[in-house]
Amino acid sequence: MNWKGHITLGIIMGLPFISAPEQIFLLVAGALYPDLDHDVKSEIVQRGLYISGGLILVSILAYLFRPEYFNVGFFIAAILSSLIYVIPYYAEHRGITHTFFSLGVMSIILGYLTFKLSIISPIMASLIALIMVTNNNLLGKSIAISVFAWVLYSMISTSFTTFQGLKFYIIPIAIGYLSHIVGDCITPMGCKALYPSNYTFRKKEGFFGVAIWALLVFYVVKLV
């Protein structure tokens, strides 16, 4: 499945579980992240490694020479940012980034970083999360699709769920990420989602995942 399919599926699967339009950026970020293990390594991943590595270096130098400027929270955020890129850098395509293990870990890390950045603005923080996993060419296209979905969502203006705090950021990323795995399951290559097992999920498992998602949507709507 190409990036357009992943973005579209991520938004479709995620809309019932968001309560604010800016969360659409998080859905798209989650839907695009797994493919950082592909041919974008030379651009997105290396860029992220340089930036996060620079932040780590600045933090270490501050600790050594200007302890009064050292901030533990900043240092932890820099380390976590580097992990976002280190894993896909060493992964093979449809390897560990296409697993439920990575879904859980990366959704928490990216969601946590976005939550910390939300002190600036929830919208800006969510947009930064999307920028972190896209290149210049894909960023404009993914934002255009996200804004279109934003407008449609605003017209409907029906929220079935309301997540607060850290969950507000983690859950949309996780759902977008899950949609990517489901989308790849229904392709001929399939998806080895049960790391470290080599079992390949194919159409049967992919459609089963869609059925589970539909039941969750029904459950959420029923609660309203």
Question: What pLDDT digit, counting tens, does each position of 43-76 carry?
Answer: 899 999 999 999 999 999 999 999 999 999 999 9
State the greatest distance between any 2 C-alpha atoms of the chain, in Å, as a whole number: 58
What per-residue confidence (pLDDT) applies to 129? 95
6-28: b (≥16 Cβ within 10 Å) or e: bbbbbbebbbbbbebbbbbbbbb
What are the phi and psi torsion angles at 191 (to 5°)? -150, 125
Helices 100-117 and 72-90, axial angle in degrees (round to 10) = 150
Q: Which of 139, 113, 123, 175 is nearest to 44 (CA)?
A: 139
The 3-state DSSP class for residue 191 equals strand
Query: Which residues of the chain, if any, have pLDDT below 70?
Result: 157-160, 221-224
The mean pLDDT value of the chain amounts to 90
What per-residue confidence (pLDDT) applies to 1? 84
